[in-house]
Amino acid sequence: MDNQNTFYATGKRKSAIAKTWLTPGNGQITVNKKPLDEYFRVETAKMLLAQPFAITNTSGEYDVKVKVLGGGVTGQANAIRHGITKALILVNPDYRGPLKKAGFVKRDPRVKERKKYGQKGARARFQFSKR
């Protein structure tokens, strides 16, 4: 890979981490050395990855290579979208405004709340009996 035309960014969501490389190309997206259609069977996940390109009018201009680990399908898709967004901002800082307005720049801080001791779950309590 040519380092001058390659832009790297890391995206995160829940427990998923996506290492994203953007290179000028024809819009081919590779996730963990597999084509996008082979890795993500769910259509909504594929649509999530196309959103940053649609907002910046750069669809088909960049090839994306991603290494993603952890999390589930939606968490990974959101992590990749976050990584693509950060890489597009490195390509052209003017993209930051529209991407920020769409809410893609900030990492989504919502993660699973831990289970507490003396309780059934994070918020759920054990059944209480008065008698």
Tens digit of pLDDT for each residue in 72-130?
999 999 999 999 999 999 999 999 999 999 999 999 999 999 999 999 999 999 999 99
Domain housing 86: 7-102
The answer to whether position 117 is within a domain reads no
**How many domains does one find in the chain?**
1
Q: Domain of 58: which CATH number?
A: 3.30.230.10
Q: Is the pLDDT of residue 3 over 80?
A: no
Q: How far apart are CA 94 and CA 79, in angstroms?
A: 22
Name, in order, each residue with C-beta under 8 angstroms of 7's C-beta and a sequence gap of 6 or more: 21, 22, 23, 87, 88, 90, 91
Q: Is residue 43 in some structural domain? A: yes
Q: Is residue 125 part of a domain?
A: no
- Phi, psi (rounded to 5 degrees) for 96: -60, -45
Confidence at 2, pLDDT banded by 50, 70, 90: low
Give tens-digit pLDDT for 37-85.
999 999 999 999 999 999 999 999 999 999 999 999 999 999 999 999 9
pLDDT of residue 4: 79
